[in-house]
Amino acid sequence: MSAIRDVAVIVGSLRKESLNRKLANALIELVPPSLKLAIVEIGALPLYNADYDEADVPVAYTAFRERMHRATGVIFVTPEYNRSMPAPLKNALDVGSRPYGKSVWSGKPTAVVSGSPGAIGGFGANHHLRQSFVFLDMPAMQQPEAYIGGADKLFDESGRLTNESTRGFLGEFMRAYAAWLERNMPQ
105: which strand partners? none
How many domains does the structure of the chain reveal? Answer: 1
Alpha carbon 139 to its chain centroid, in Å, reads: 13
| 73-78, strands of its sheet edge to edge | 35-39, 5-11, 73-78, 110-115, 147-148
- Ramachandran assignment for 4, one of left (phi > 0), alpha (psi -120 to 50 degrees), beta (any other): beta
The whole-angstrom separation of Cα 79 and Cα 87 is: 11
pTM beyond 0.85: the answer is yes
The whole-angstrom separation of Cα 107 and Cα 184 is: 9
Query: Is pLDDT above 70 for 131?
Result: yes
The whole-angstrom separation of Cα 102 and Cα 108 is: 13
C-alpha distances (whole Å) from 162 to each of 11, 23, 168, 175 are: 20, 11, 11, 20
For residue 148, what pLDDT is reported? 96
Would you call 69 helix, strand, or coil by DSSP? helix
Confidence of residue 114 (pLDDT cuts 50, 70, 90): very high
Mean pLDDT of 138-150: 96
For residue 185, what pLDDT is reported? 85
Query: Is pLDDT above 50 for 161?
Result: yes
C-alpha distances (whole Å) from 86 to each of 11, 53, 59 are: 10, 23, 23
Query: What is the CATH classification number for the domain harbouring 47?
Result: 3.40.50.360
DSSP 12: S
Contact 58, 46 (CB under 8 A): yes
Q: Which domain does 159 fall in, by range?
A: 5-184
Q: Express each pLDDT in 1-47 by its tens digit.
A: 467 899 999 999 999 999 999 999 999 999 999 999 999 999 999 99
